[in-house]
Structure 1
Amino acid sequence: MALEALSSTELFNFIMFDSAAPTPFTCNNDSSEASPQEIAPRLSHPPPPQDTTTRKKRRRRPKVCKNKEEAETQRMTHIAVERNRRKQMNEHLAVLRSLMPDSYVQRGDQASIVGGAIEFVKELEHILQSLEAKKFTLLEQQVNNKDQYEKSDDQNYKQVMGSSSPFAQFFAYPQFSCSHNQLGNKYTSQSKAAIADIEVTLIETHANIRILSRRRLRQLSKIVASFHSVFLSILHLNVTTLDSLVLYSISAKVEEGCQLNSADDIAGAVHHMLRIIEEEAILGCQS
């Protein structure tokens, strides 16, 4: 037999290696041959665990519905809600288009209808402001044509004298406020800082600005130039005058790079513009 030619040590190695792994046996008579006592501990200890820190973390799978019926119900509900929303939007756009003259709607798409509505509302606002100024002028004329006795009981007289400004209804919460008495003659400020009525409302990047101040030479062109210098692009502008007063209704867009981050900041910048224009007008009159 082949095993008879093997020594006892080689026979022990053959038995150990044959039971541990299916690798073929090789005989080695070198002096550095490992003893059975050294081989046994190596086979008794399991290999060290592999490092799992380098493995990529598995992504968590999104939670799914418990059953297909629930998923289908949610999908159908979402479709119904979206369909109803689109239906209501189309109905509102149709009504909005019917309320505007055809000249304000160039095309029938949603953007054109909404843009035309903005233009139409601005035009109506300008008409309302102009009518308010004419109404105030007519009331003043009627009051001035009556004697002192009749004035005391006249409702028009009370309305004229009780109103600090003919455009007071257009200023709900102004950041700067003045009082206007005896239009054309006096223009007194309630505080040293305020030289005009200024109200600014800001929604995202669109600002609505109303200014009521005394009329000055080249005032409008200077305001427009000042707006551009602080990265405010004017989208709409209405101007209404009454005697020595002027009302500006401005719709502006806050462009990238503008340092004015709130309605109060914009109101303060506008007031600063008007103060510079006022000082230049005073210096021009003195010279």
Structure 2
Amino acid sequence: MRKILLSAVLLTSLFASCKKEDAPVTEDPIPKDRVFFTLDGGSMRNYTMLQLDDKQRVDYYIIADLDKNYYFRQDPIFDADGRMTGMNTNSEADPSALLKTATFAYNSNNKLIIINHISPTTWNRLSYDSLAYNGEGKLSAIYHSKPNNDVTPQFAFYSKETMVWDSKSNIIARHILPFSGDTEGKDTISTAAYTYDDAINFMIKPADLFVMDLNNGITWLSANNPLTQVTRYPSGDSVVTISNLYTYDKGNYPDSVFRTRKATQGGAEVYNNTNKFAIKYKILDK
């Protein structure tokens, strides 16, 4: 899977000066309209952070693991109609280092249909993703392209993702297939199956947040929180299983998650790791 604006997966001193009114609120009375703020693995060393602007749009989104010297920030660009039209990114805790790395295009129904990945120095297109929707307006497929030569780049699709939705508005499967010309390959690259709880997805707002991480963030489009993700890679006889065990607050929102990632190859376990993250929210202005 190619790196996204947004491969994470699935985020401190920079934020020590946050305004007091930006502090997360989780006590009674139970807030009815809230948005995700942070996913904290401990002392804001391994964290995800979402900040909104005064129009309740994504101001910036950060994934960081400071113990591994990893930091990635994304700042969307919006047009006068409030549509996300581009993305500035950087890998330093310094907003002045932001560079444009993507532009977006929409259809007549204001559905995002193209993500252009561009050079931050020349703004030339490096590749693009094409998004398709079903009759209910839900994301049904993503086509990934790459240049077919280095001299006068022409782009061709090399893989296709298809999403399967259930009656509860959850993505329950994602299939990745090779693509050549106008033809889908028959051999599956990977297949992921998902299960969910019955609580409101803590990453479902804002609705366009998933573009920050098309790989790990695809389940942010679902109505509920993913409990398990089992991804099978037939060619390597490998399976990656992610399990999420949540605790919930009085409003039935997740307030912590124990996340276990396990990998097997040829039936033998090659990786197993569990992390705990605290989930915090901010109240949306009415």
Query: Which TM-score bucket, shorter chain as reference?
Result: under 0.3
> Which structure is larger by alpha-carbon Rg, 1 or 2?
1
Instruction: With a CA cutoff of 8 Å and minimum separation of 6, indicate the structure with the bigger relative contact order.
Output: 2
Q: TM-score, normalised to structure 1's length?
A: 0.23
Bigger strand share: 2
Q: TM-score, normalised by structure 2?
A: 0.24
More helix by share: 1
